[in-house]
Amino acid sequence: MKVLIIGSGVAGSEAGTYLGHHATEPLEVVEVECEPGRRFGGWAFQSFPDTETTNLALRKMYLGRDPEEISRWFDDPEVRASWPEAYREVRFSVDRPVPRALVQRYIEWRRSQVHNPLVTYSHVSGEAMRVRQRCHDAVSVELRSGRVLEADALIMASGSIAVKVPPYLEAWRDHERVVIDPLVLEGHQRRQSIPPDARVLILGTGLTGEEQANILYRRGHEALTLLSRNGHRHYTYDQDQHNQPLSLDHAPDLMHAETPEEFDQGLSDFYTRFLTQGHSREDILAALRPLWGDVRANLGGCYQTAQVLRRFRRSLAVNSIGVSHEVAAQLEQAEADGALRVVRGHIHDITEDRGSFHVKYDPDGPDSGEELRTLEVDWIVNAVGRNIIRHPIWEGLLRDGLAKKHAGIGVRVSEDGQLMDADGDASDVIWVVGMARAGDHALRHGFLGNTAFNVPQVREHLYDTMDAMLGRPCPTHTNRLEEVLFKITHHGRDARLVHGDETPLIWAVSEGYSEIALALVEAGASLDARNSRGNTALIRAACEGRLALARALVSAGADLDVQNEDGYTAVILARRRGHSHIVEFLLEAGAQTHHTTRWGTSFTDPGSSPKSPLLGPRDEHLEADILHTLGA
C-alpha cells in the first residue's frame, strides 16, 4: 500500500509515525511538504527563535498513547546533549509552556523510534495543488512543478497553509518593505533585514502579531506599533499553570447574549469569577463546551449557532489561548520603554509617499463618520492570521465535489475521518487529520473548540482515524468496561481511556474493580502513571479507602509521595477523606508528611471532605473477559 501525506506539520508527521508503528502489511509513506524546513512541525514550529514557547504546557504536548513519554524525553541526558546550548541545563516542569524549537525535535525523535521493516518513508518537497480521485481505490496529487504523485490512499494533513491578506494590503504584496507572511522562510528573512531604527507597523494583536513585536524588540527596535481592529489582546499564560477541572450545572447568561458588548461583559465577569477561585482559562472554556449543545439546539443547530458566534469569536479566541509568559513580559517592558504602542482601528487604505507608508485608519470603526487618522511607517508586517482550507488544493477539492465545507471553516468528514464529498458520501481513499478538521471539531463541541484547535485536539482524532485507515478495529463503546477490554486488547495494559485520560489500572482502582486492578498490577501495569488531574492509582486508592489495593500497589513499588496537580499526596487525601486505616498503613510504609497543597492544606491540616466510595457498574461477563485478556 502506498500512502501520500500532504503536509508534514504536527498532524501529518504524527500520522506517518503512527502508521509506521502499526502497519502489519508493506506500507510506503510519501510525505509532501512545500518547504523542507517545515517537516516535523509545520509553519508553527519552523522559524521561531529558540527562546519562544508554545501556548501549551508540557504535559499537553505529548504525542502517542503515553502522556509520560514527553517528560522522559525532556529529562533524557542524551537527548539534551543535542539541544541548543541555552536549554541543556534548563529543567522543564510539566506545567510550563515548552520552546517551539524543542517541539520540532520531539516530533522528529518520535519518528526515529519507528523500527518497522514493513514501512518505508520518503519525502517530496513541493506545493501540492490538485487532487484527483481516479477510482474508488486510487488517488493522485499534482504538484506546482507539474509532477504527479500516485497512491492508494491520501491523508490531507495541510489545513492552515494560507496566510490571510487583508484587502487593503493586496496591492502591496510584493513590496520590498512589506512582510506578507512572517512565518515562512522568505518572510523571516525579509523581517531580519528591517533596520533597527525603522518605524514598523505590525498588523494584528493576536499571538503572531505579539510574537513578531517581541522578536523585533529583542533585536533592538524602538519604533513598533501593533494595530488591530478591536484591540483584543490574549491573556498571559501562567509560568506554572495548574488546572483544576470545573463543572457547570447550566449555561451562563452570556451564552444568550444578543450583542458583542453584552457578550464581552458577561464573558469578562464569568472568567473573573472562576479565575479568582483558582481555575485556569482552559478549565473555564472546557466547562462551557458541553453546555453549548443546549444553546445550539435552541438556536436551530450548528450553522445557526455559527452565525451567532461570528460576532463573538474574537472574545472567545483571546480567552481560550494565552500568549507565553516570556513574550508578555517582553512586550510589557517594550511598552514601558516607549518602544511599542498598541493602536485600535479599522484601516481605510495605505498609500506611499517619499519612501514612507501612510496608513489611514478609523479608531471607532469603518462607518463611524469620524475623521481618519494617519500612521506614517517605514515597514509593514502582516500578522492578521492564517486561513483554513484556503489554498488551491482545497479549492479544487471543493470545486470538484470531492469535499464539502463545514460550519464556515474546515471540511466535513465521516466519524472515521474520511473526507465527505458534496453528496455526503465518505471517500474510500482520502482521509483528513489536523486543522482541516476544525469544522468537524466544531460540530462535536458546539463550535467553541475551533478557537483553540491545538495538539490535544489533533491527537484526539488522529489515532482513531489512522486505525480506521489501517482497518484496525475502532468501535464505539457503550460503557467503560467495553472500552477497557478493547484498549487492553489492542493497545496494551497502559492504554489511555477517553474519560480522564486514565489508564485501566487507575480506572479499576477508582471504581472498585479489585480483581482487575490486582491482575493489572500482576501483569506489570505502570504503577505511577497519572490521569488528567495528576492522580496515580495509589492516590485514587487512598481517596476511595481501598486498603487492599493500596497494599498491593505499595508492595509492587508504587511511589508513596506523588503529588497530583493540586499538590495532594495519597496520605493527605486519605486523611482528608477520613480513611484512618489508609493513613496508618501509608505512614508505616514511609509516606512523607511535609508536603503542602496549592490551597495551603497539609497533612497536619488537610480539611475534611468525606465521600462515599465510587463503584462502577458491574458486568460479570465483561469483567471475566478483561481478566482473561490479562492472563488472570
Residue 46 near residue 161 (C-beta atoms within 8 A): no
Question: Which cell numbers in the block locate residue 504?
Answer: 485501566
Statement: residue 324 has pLDDT above 70: no
Statement: residue 306 has pLDDT above 50: no
Rounded to whole angstroms, the Cα distance separating 190 from 475 reads 50
Q: Which amino acid is at 382?
A: N
Distance linking the first and last C-alpha atoms of the chain: 38
**CATH architecture assignment, domain 165-234+323-384:** 3-Layer(bba) Sandwich (3.50)
Statement: residue 377 has pLDDT above 70: yes
CA dihedral 257, 260, 264, 270 (to 10 degrees): 20
- Residue-level pLDDT at 312: 52
pLDDT (average), residues 452-459: 57
Domains of the chain: which residue ranges? Answer: 2-162+388-470, 165-234+323-384, 236-320, 480-629
Statement: residue 118 has pLDDT above 90: yes
Whether the domain at 2-162+388-470 and the domain at 480-629 fall into the same CATH topology: no
Highest mean pLDDT among 101-110, 118-127, 207-216, 426-435 belongs to: 118-127
Cα three-residue angle 242-63-86, rounded to 5 degrees: 70
pLDDT (average), residues 597-601: 78
Rounded to whole angstroms, the Cα distance separating 255 from 266 reads 8
**CATH architecture assignment, domain 480-629:** Alpha Horseshoe (1.25)
CATH 3.50.50.60 fits 2-162+388-470, yes or no: yes
Statement: residue 398 has pLDDT above 60: yes
Q: Which residues of 107-133 are buried (b: 16+ CB within 10 A; e: fewer)?
A: bebbbeebeeeebebeebebbbbbbeb
DSSP 462-528: HHHHHHHHHT---PPPSSHHHHHHHHHHHH-TTPPPSGGG--HHHHHHHHT-HHHHHHHHHTT--SS
Residue 405 binned pLDDT confidence (cut-offs 50, 70, 90): confident
Range from 60-69, 394-403, 531-540, 591-600 carrying the lowest mean pLDDT:
60-69
Nearest Cα neighbor of 212 from 235, 233, 192 is 192
Residue 87 near residue 102 (C-beta atoms within 8 A): yes
Quote the mean pLDDT of the chain. Answer: 81
Statement: residue 422 has pLDDT above 90: no
**Alpha-helical runs (H) found in 230-259:** none
Residue 163 binned pLDDT confidence (cut-offs 50, 70, 90): confident
CA atoms within 13 A on the CB side of 72: 8
DSSP 84-132: -GGGTT----TTSEEEHHHHHHHHHHHHHT---TTEEEEEEES-EEEEE
Q: Is 150 in a helix, a strand, or coil?
A: strand
Long-range Cβ pairs for the range 72-80 (8 Å, 24+):
73/106, 73/109, 74/98, 74/102, 79/105, 79/109
**Alpha-helical runs (H) found in 140-235:** 185-192, 207-218
How many Cβ atoms from other residues are within 10 Å of residue 500's Cβ?
A: 15
Question: Which cell numbers in the block locate residue 325?
Answer: 509568559
Task: Please write the tens of the pLDDT for every residue from 202-233.
Answer: 998 777 888 889 889 988 999 999 998 876 67
Range from 114-123, 157-166, 519-528, 551-560 carrying the lowest mean pLDDT:
157-166
- Residue-level pLDDT at 66: 77
111 phi and psi, to 5 degrees? -65, -35
Neighbouring residues of 283: CB distance < 8 A, sequence distance ≥ 6: 243, 244, 245, 246, 274
Rounded to whole angstroms, the Cα distance separating 587 from 592 reads 7
The neighbouring-strand residues paired with 5 are 31, 155
